[in-house]
Amino acid sequence: MSQYALRIPDSLAGYAKELAREDNVSLNQFIVVALAEKVSALKTAAFFQERAARADQEKALSILDSVKKQSTILGDEIP
């Protein structure tokens, strides 16, 4: 496990401490989870950008056109 000395502005540290306390976790655990969420979000965005760059739009539209048209099921309507 790595250790890293982190400088956090007082106002941000105050908010983080408050939220950690409300969540009944240590400040360290709160920061680790927040970092994990950010890394996950960035990695997910990069994954979908890569997939979109490799996509064949014409083929995707062809597949969608081949699907049998069905009437909307009650409750699945888009308002």
Token pair belonging to 7: 């400088």
pLDDT in the model for residue 37: 97
The structural domain count of the chain equals 1
Per DSSP, the three-state class of 25 is coil
Task: Please indicate, yes or no, if residue 36 is contained in any of the structural domains.
Answer: yes
Task: Please indicate, yes or no, if residue 58 is contained in any of the structural domains.
Answer: yes
Q: What's CA 3's distance to the chain center, in Å?
A: 25
pLDDT at 39 over 80: yes
CA distance 4 to 17: 18
Task: Please indicate, yes or no, if residue 27 is contained in any of the structural domains.
Answer: yes
Task: Please indicate, yes or no, if residue 40 is contained in any of the structural domains.
Answer: yes
Task: Please indicate, yes or no, if residue 69 is contained in any of the structural domains.
Answer: no
With a threshold of 0.75, does the pTM exceed it? no
Task: Please indicate, yes or no, if residue 79 is contained in any of the structural domains.
Answer: no
The band of 30, judged by pLDDT with boundaries at 50, 70 and 90, is very high
Q: What is the mean pLDDT of residues 61-65?
A: 88
pLDDT in the model for residue 59: 92
Q: What is the mean pLDDT of residues 22-51?
A: 96
Expressed as residue numbers, the domain containing 39 is 10-64
How many angstroms separate the Cα of 53 from the Cα of each of 1, 47, 50, 77?
35, 10, 5, 31
pLDDT at 21 over 90: yes
